[in-house]
């Protein structure tokens, strides 16, 4: 399964942050601040992203 543009942006930001903060990477990728913690966690659990 291919990653969406936003998911690709999340991966890029997460790698740039040194694999430290998924919530910040999600926010920088365009996810809302209120959902970034949950979204970042869920994205990291996806096999396509691991």
Q: What is the pLDDT of residue 15?
A: 95
Which of 1-33 are b and which e, b meaning 16 or more Cβ less than 10 Å from the residue's Cβ? Answer: eeeeeebebbbebbeeeeeebbbbbbbbbebee
42, pLDDT greater than 90: yes
- pLDDT higher than 90, residue 50: no
Is residue 1's pLDDT more than 90? Answer: no
Residue 16 pLDDT class (50, 70, 90 cuts): very high
| Per-residue confidence (pLDDT) for residue 35, from 0 to 100 | 96
Tell me the whole-structure pTM to 2 decimals: 0.90
List the chain domain ranges.
5-45
């Amino acid at each position: 399964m291919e990653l969406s543009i936003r998911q690709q942006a999340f991966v890029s930001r997460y790698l740039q942050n040194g694999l430290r903060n998924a919530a910040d990477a999600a926010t920088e990728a365009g996810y809302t601040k209120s959902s970034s913690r949950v979204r970042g966690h869920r994205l990291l659990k996806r096999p396509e992203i691991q």
